[in-house]
Amino acid sequence: MSLGVYFSSYHPSLTALSPSVLDNVKQVILSYRDGVESVCVIVPTLDTLTEIVGTVPSEVQEAVTLRYFVDLSSVGTDKLRLYVDSPDPAVSIIGFYFDSNNALVEKKIYKKVHEDIKAICIDRYNALGDLISADEPEYQSDRTSWLGNTEWADLAEASPYEVRYLFKGAKPQSYIYIQ
């Protein structure tokens, strides 16, 4: 059973995905941001991403990447959250926020911290490339850092998949990364 199918009944945003998309989900990230829980899926192809979001912005279409990430709760909103791998070895991923017209609103660079393999630092830029904030820390942790529904953590840990916990250093945000 694929990871997508395994978790498909877990959240309405996953239940809404087609069987072909669920079969292609390679990783799931359960997110808790400022009191709101959401699900991000990671898929291997642009075709699968297109099936989820419709028209994919050019910044993501043109990316050199092995994976495409989409926060499912952001699809169809004025803050579509998409992520891709970075070709820069010093950067883990690049995040993009787009408005309802697929115009870039914000770009996030997730930089690796070579002194601490369990941490990354995030730089945020507006659509013009102006720095909004720098070096926002995010850390790998354990279950105690998860701020969301304990059922999500229970289900993740009961699954046959690898589970990691992450949290933002300066914001009430945490994540369960399942692969």
The domain total for the chain is 1
Cβ proximity of 42 and 35 under 8 Å: no
Whole-model pTM: value is 0.94
Query: How many Cβ atoms from other residues are within 10 Å of residue 118's Cβ?
Result: 11
Q: Which amino acid appears at position 11 of this protein?
A: H
Domain that holds residue 32: 3-178
| pLDDT, tens digit only, all 179 positions of the chain | 899 999 999 889 999 999 999 999 999 999 999 899 999 999 999 999 999 999 999 999 999 999 999 999 999 999 999 999 999 999 999 999 999 999 999 999 999 987 777 899 999 999 999 999 999 999 999 999 999 999 999 999 999 999 999 999 888 999 999 99
